[in-house]
Chains A and B, each alone.
Chain A
Amino acid sequence: MTDLATSERIVAPRIGENAPRPDGVPKVVGAFAFSSDLHHDRMLWGGTLRSTHSSARIRSVDISTAVAVTGVHAVLVSDDVPGQKVFGLEYRDQPVLAGDVVRYEGEPVAIVAADHPEAVRMALEAIVVDYEVLVPVVDPMTVEEAEPVHPDGNLVRRIHLRHGNQDVVGDVQVEGTYEVAMQDQAFLGPESGMAVPADDGSIDLYVATQWLHSDRDQVADCMGLDPEKVRLTLAGVGGAFGAREDLSLHVHLCMLARHTGRPVKMVYSREESFHGHVHRHPAQMWYRHHADRDGTLVRVEAHLILDGGAYASSSSAVIANATCFAAGPYRVPSAEIDGAVVRTNNPPCGAMRGFGAVQVCFAHEAQMDRLAGALGMDPVALRLQNALVPGDELLTGQTIKGTAPVAEVIRTCADHPPGASMAVDPLELPGGAGRTADPEHVVRGEAFALGFKNLLFSEGFDDFSEASCRLAGGVATITSACAEVGQGFVTLAQQIAREVLGVDEVVLLPASTAGIGSAGSTSASRQTWMSGGAIQEACGQVRAQLLEHLAAEHGVDADDLVIADGRVVSMAGGFEVDLAKATTEPIEASVVFRHVPTLPLDENGQGNAHVSFAFSAHRAIVDVDVELGLVKVVELTTSQDVGRVLNPLQTVGQLEGGAAQGVGLAVMEEVLVQEGRIRNASFTDYLVPTALDMPHVEIAALIEQAEPGAPFGAKGIGEAPSISSTAAVAAAIRNATGLDLPRVPVRPTDIVFPGGTA
């Protein structure tokens, strides 16, 4: 890494350089407007009444006292939803406001607009809902025989994947059952936004989200409006990680704004936020791995059950991912994977960084370690032996056509010398300032894990991205509805435009549905590829137009022309023009960028369903206080297949941040659900890693093999770091303790009372 203290800041950095974020300065001075910072002088405050039961019939909702509370301007219920009563990402199965039944604790039942948050609170307290409480359906393992939680039934999707010869059996077999608990995205910026009604019946909605146009379309349907009548502008996003793919307060804000004729702002409390967004699917996974005695994988069988909770969200795509990537990045000639995502009265689950691959990675890596043990093989050697290479087939029968430097990912990570010394300061031992252990109470463990998943959307989904470029007066203006959620796309957008156009000054217009078509979702590690690609192409077209025009006008060869330092110059000599002057007439181009088409999975889960894949490995070193079951993650080393590094600092930031979420799932993060109720809906008891819990993340290698079809050859990098990190930490704890630890997060009781006597 360059010595930042002494290095000069590069003016107008391009691809591959450490371009600073364009929103960095506003963010460090506290001037950046997040969705919870919005203000309008005439604004009212909104609030939501939520179900306190995980399954109940609504007999009546009495709002009469609530509407009479001083300062209240509106109290709305299900009947007040002007358009379609239901919304959803894949299936429109979720009510805007519960009508006759509530299916999860926290489901919205009524909404209020008032002068002040205090008045909102009093009004919400004054609404009387008469519930007929039902017994919730909460066990995903038995749910298919249970009463339907929803008219659409309790099975959201089942994939029965069969690959290769089904009659194969391996000389060595290992079996295991694994569990991944429910993780929360725990973004810091609460759900928030503002809706501003216009006189013509249209609405301006400012909200933090991941996919502007998908939100806009659902909102328009629910408001009974044509799409152009809902203008959604991205407000500053305080993190997403999948939790903002679904609607939360969007329609509620629009309903209140339209009803009152006033701007309405809503901000969820942290407790409300836990109920207000989807979580990572908890998973129960049974596996059987078959191998030859020399370690070659022969067959993998698995049963996966993901609990999708009350509504479908993106569960259908999550189970597809889990099933497709169930065996990990290895050559598996024969497989039978039964993957199902079911409906319960538990909190709804959907997208979270890693999207199904996190869960199966924990399981398949535990299996690989089990297999290595049974074979007497080194765990890393076993992985190298079976690692995918380009040209190999996945479980879906799809051949890897792009890059797959899996062996290099493994070797660079596993061979990287560990840096962690033994803990000296008590603060570095498990227990930290709690001073629970001395060095002699602590055992160090080390382990390795490998993971992968797809990039971009799959199974035939056309997740295109639009962008436009306008060059005028020497300044490039980029329009894209790509949602910046913290990942740094806004930085890359400028770098790409500078790289292609040769200009220094690049302006990014605010992301809005009003100015441009969809950029698709900020998820699936897709935006660098898709929106980056759209911007690259749009800028390329503008460049070509400019150079062709100048060539024609001045009789020079367009191929000799170069744009740099504010001028257009011919490399053949004899021609130079000021760029600003050459672009007094604006030049524009708009592009809809698409990836290669993908296909659905057939009835055996076979098909060319994915565009591309990214691979990563982690090596974890942990210190374990075995008697107390406390863990300190001491070091994480990682290698990742990135295609091309577009911004080194931002790349490191993604790898470190994703690893932190992986550490969290490994040792501390779990949404505790009992009878459908969340027991720890607060940061007091939903624990995410602090700076004292996270180790240094050592980047062993960023493997740059240009991916065909990807702009600049760059693969998306956001999800991979969160996939193999959990598995590596859990395996390291196994290494330290000798315990099976089939569940994450690993709790102290799992170490102290293995087999679950307490």
Chain B
Amino acid sequence: MSTDPFVLEVNGQSHEVADAHPGESLLRVLRERLRLPGSKNACEEGECGSCTVLLDGQTVCSCLVLASTAVGRQITTIEGLSGDGGLSHVQQAFVDAGAVQCGFCTPGLIVSIGSLLESDPDPSELAVREAISGNLCRCTGYGRVVEAVHLAATRGGGSK
């Protein structure tokens, strides 16, 4: 069985989703139906943050959002974060600070950090660590990630 078609606003564009299964998460719809695989599927139980997107400007685990309930919300994924063809401050900082290894946690981290810097443009290290405490990384040990946040904050403040 499948749901009635519904429309999702993702990265400023409308997408019709037809024939979704009733229990499909926003993560699954993004990845498999809307062909936006940037948000990742490391656990699909809200314990790793690799699926983090912005829902009306707030970070959420998209694996825990029932896709059909996200109608009418503004959804921003990692694919929607680069500004006008260039990298955001956070993205560039990740590249420059060596904060990317396998990269699986990277999209979720970048979304979380972008959100942090919007509300706290010059966060303390502890505030950074708490803000990313819902994003697991198995490769970096978080050292270069924290550095990347400070680098991004130094360079421009905010998420852009």
Contacts and interface: CB of A to CB of B under 8 A. Distances in A.
Interface of A: 4-5, 9, 18, 20-21, 23-25, 27-34, 36-37, 39, 116, 118, 185-190, 236-239, 241, 267, 269-270, 425, 427-428, 433, 485-488, 649-650, 652-653, 656-661, 682-684, 688-692, 694, 696-697
A27 B103 contact: yes
Given A28-B91, A486-B101, 10 more contacts: A4-B147, A28-B106, A29-B87, A37-B31, A237-B102, A486-B102, A649-B98, A653-B101, A653-B140, A683-B47
B4 interface: no
B136 A652 contact: no
A18 B77 CA distance: 29
A488 B42 CA distance: 21
Given A28-B110, A190-B41, A657 B101 contact: yes
B75 interface: no
B18 interface: no
Contact of B95 (A24, A36, A652): A24
A270 B95 contact: no
A485 B102 contact: yes
17 contacts: A18-B98, A27-B103, A28-B106, A28-B107, A29-B81, A29-B91, A187-B102, A188-B40, A238-B103, A241-B138, A425-B126, A427-B126, A485-B102, A653-B144, A690-B136, A691-B137, A694-B143
Contacts of B38: 29-31
Contacts of A236: 103
A20 B94 CA distance: 10
A24 B143 contact: no
Nearest to A690: B133
Nearest to A698: B143
Contact of B133 (A33, A661, A692): A692
B100 interface: yes
A688 B133 CA distance: 11
A118 B2 CA distance: 11
B48 interface: yes
A160 to B, nearest CB: 37
B87 A28 contact: yes
Q: Which residue among B38, B136, B143 has the maximum number of chain A CB atoms within 10 Å of its CB?
A: B143
Chain B at the A interface: mostly helix, strand, loop or mixed? loop
B78 to A, nearest CB: 4
Nearest to A119: B21
A335 B129 CA distance: 46
Contacts of A4: 96-97, 147, 151
Nearest to B132: A691
A618 B25 CA distance: 43
A692 B141 CA distance: 11
A661 B103 CA distance: 17
A258 B79 CA distance: 35
Contacts of A186: 138
B44 interface: yes
Interface in B8-57: 21, 31, 35-45, 47-48, 50
A661 B140 CA distance: 10
B138 A188 contact: yes
B37 A238 contact: no
B92 to A, nearest CB: 8
Interface string B114-144: 0000000000001011101111111111111
A657 B37 CA distance: 25
Given A27-B106, A29-B82, A657-B141, A649 B50 contact: no
Contacts of B146: 691
B105 interface: yes
A105 B139 CA distance: 28
B155 interface: yes
B107 to A, nearest CB: 5
Nearest to A658: B141
B60 interface: no
Contacts of B129: 691-692
A28 B42 CA distance: 17
A5 B155 contact: yes
Contacts of B145: 691
A486 B141 CA distance: 13
Given A29-B79, A690-B136, A691-B133, A188 B42 contact: yes
Summarize A's interface: helix, strand, loop or mixed. loop
Contacts of A32: 103
Contact of A656 (B36, B87, B143, B154): B143
Nearest to A1: B147
B119 to A, nearest CB: 18
Contacts of B103: 23, 27-28, 32, 34, 236, 238, 486
Contacts of B44: 269-270
Given A486-B101, A649-B97, A650-B98, A187 B133 contact: no
A4 B149 CA distance: 12
A697 B133 CA distance: 17
Contact of B40 (A34, A650, A660): A34
A-B pairs with lowest CB-CB distance, top 4: A30-B38, A486-B102, A649-B98, A27-B103
A9 B87 CA distance: 15
B136 A683 contact: yes
B104 A188 contact: yes
Nearest to A659: B141
Which of B37, B81, B134, B146 is packed against the most chain A CB atoms within 10 Å?
B37
Given A4-B97, A683-B45, A694 B141 contact: yes
Contacts of B96: 4, 9, 20
Contact of A696 (B81, B137, B143): B143
A692 B130 contact: yes
Given A270-B42, A649-B98, A238 B104 contact: yes
B130 A427 contact: yes
Contacts of B105: 188
Contacts of B133: 690-692
Nearest to A650: B98
Nearest to B42: A188
A36 B44 CA distance: 13
Given A5-B151, A270-B43, A652-B143, A188 B95 contact: no
B106 to A, nearest CB: 5
A277 B100 CA distance: 24
Contact of B100 (A27, A185, A659, A691): A27
Contacts of B132: 690-691
B138 A682 contact: no
Nearest to B50: A188
Contact of B42 (A30, A238, A656, A689): A238
Interface string B62-80: 0000000000000001110
A238 B94 contact: no
B78 A188 contact: no
Contacts of A27: 100, 103, 106
B79 A30 contact: yes
A652 B98 contact: yes
A189 B102 contact: yes
A428 to B, nearest CB: 7
A258 to B, nearest CB: 24
A151 to B, nearest CB: 36
Nearest to B107: A30
Given A24-B95, A29-B91, A30-B38, A656 B104 contact: no
B43 A238 contact: no
Contacts of A487: 101
A4 B42 CA distance: 31
A28 B130 CA distance: 21
Given A28-B100, A692-B133, A697-B141, A682 B45 contact: yes
* Residue of B81, B87, B104, B128 ringed by the most chain A CB atoms within 10 A: B104
Contacts of A31: 38, 79
Contacts of B95: 20-21, 24-25, 28
B137 to A, nearest CB: 8
A29 B50 CA distance: 14
A660 B140 CA distance: 8
